[in-house]
Homo-oligomer: A and B are copies of this chain.
């Protein structure tokens, strides 16, 4: 009944961990999907879900709504029990009070996976809480795994499963890529996906589980950990489900042995936590306890939303570093200084280059060039100066990570500098390269060249410093 996952599915060997396929495959890779609450009405939620699936999902779609028979060229059904087969996944987008009955029906046909988009459950008072408990009992009875309720659900760039009920023009879908996102906030997830599309950041899969009556961040972390389409996992969480702390640490430890996990915590302050409690009916948990757990599990913590992506972009592309020694080559003093400050803040090393290496560099350049580290080629530096400096430093073995700061405003530099940096980086691919450039058109041109070759580029030194930190941190990961 299971369809094979879309791409190469290596099971991690050796330590015997994570070789069990989790039972969440039907959410991301189902052969058929029933949409209860589908609608042909323009602007409706049921129509948005249907449209998005029709656009890219290749499996069978069963729109369910007793009001319609033949709309949009599809056969409509009045209930799940009428379907010619048990759907592998059912998406539920109807009023909360109808949900228990629909789950019952789904269970009777043998369906094992449901995404409840509808709100009106635990987040909205006592009656909703009762409904959620009732729905949970039914799901348990039939062994149905549930994502939701009160969620935007699941997004898989590879299979086209997309329950985010937002039209394409409101939420652009990002390019395919190796990043997965787990978000406790649905609207937040939609907006960062839209932003990622703008920035060209590649996303493989994403999930929001709302009230997480069943599937939660721990389940998803395990599933994404197992999934070889994914190289980096980004998480936004406000709090774990009660009693899931130990599971979280255990699972996270295994996952971070395979790939980096970066987490942003919402509700770090007590005021923030109380705001979190009022919107997902979840306890935000003690931040200090969580911090300890993150450290134990080798999860990287992001301080800000943007940090998730700055670190994620680096880790999606770069090999891990052999150590923490960073060499900086720049054509501008100020950003070099700012870079050093920020690297030191993250406990990275910016050692003075050896006397021997300094002498070698001195012999290549005019006296105005600073050679200690940062190597400041000054504003007159051309492409060739970068090539000489980078090659010499990389071959010296004195740096584990290279930061190239290339401000493109001086006309002596050309965008071919991008190819040149990429060539050196690829030739010495044991040493991660991170590039900083600032400005408008000319900076964007360099960025495209360099990122096109898989080397991450940042527009501000501080953002690049976070990326260096992430790479160095994960050099101890699996």
Contacts and interface: CB of A to CB of B under 8 A. Distances in A.
B411 A306 contact: no
Interface string A49-90: 000000000000000000000000000000000000000000
Interface string A84-121: 00000000000000000000000000000000000110
A443 B198 CA distance: 11
Interface string A139-153: 000000000000000
Interface in A164-192: 166-167, 169-172, 183-192
B269 A345 contact: yes
B187 A340 contact: no
Given A279-B370, A331-B187, A438-B194, A171 B409 contact: yes
A120 to B, nearest CB: 7
B119 A338 contact: no
7 contacts: A169-B441, A172-B439, A191-B438, A191-B443, A267-B341, A271-B350, A279-B370
Interface residues of A, number: 85
B409 A187 contact: yes
A197 interface: yes
Contact of A333 (B276, B437, B442): B276
A124 B368 contact: yes
A439 B191 contact: yes
Contacts of A407: 187-188, 190-191
Interface stretch (A27-35, A314-322, A372-380, A386-394): A372-380
A195 interface: yes
A238 B334 contact: yes
Interface of A: 43, 48, 119-120, 123-125, 166-167, 169-172, 183-192, 194-195, 197-198, 236, 238, 264, 266-269, 271-272, 274-276, 278-280, 284, 303-306, 331-338, 340-341, 344-345, 350, 367-368, 370, 372-374, 376, 378-379, 407-411, 437-443, 459-462
Contacts of A195: 438-440, 443, 459
Most chain B CB within 10 A, of A166, A266, A337, is at A337
B280 A333 contact: yes
A271 B442 contact: no
How many copies of this kind of chain does the complex include?
2
Given A271-B344, A272-B340, A185 B333 contact: yes
Kindly list the 4 A-B residue pairs having the minimum CB-CB distance in the complex, ordered from nearest: A185-B334, A279-B333, A187-B332, A188-B334
Given A266-B334, A332-B191, A368 B305 contact: no
Nearest to A337: B266
Contacts of A372: 274-275, 278
A271 B340 contact: yes
A334 B183 contact: yes
B187 A338 contact: no
Nearest to A372: B278
B370 A278 contact: yes
A461 B303 CA distance: 12
B187 A238 contact: no
A161 to B, nearest CB: 19
B337 A306 contact: no
Most chain B CB within 10 A, of A171, A191, A305, A459, is at A191
B124 A337 contact: no
A440 B197 contact: yes
A347 to B, nearest CB: 11
A304 B304 CA distance: 13
A336 B440 CA distance: 31
A217 to B, nearest CB: 13
A267 B344 CA distance: 11
A462 B191 contact: no
Contacts of A187: 331-335, 379, 407, 409-410
Contacts of A442: 169-170, 194
Nearest to A198: B440
Contact of A194 (B169, B191, B303, B440): B440
A411 B334 contact: no
A378 B298 CA distance: 34
A220 B125 CA distance: 60
A264 B284 CA distance: 34
A237 to B, nearest CB: 10
Contacts of A119: 368, 378
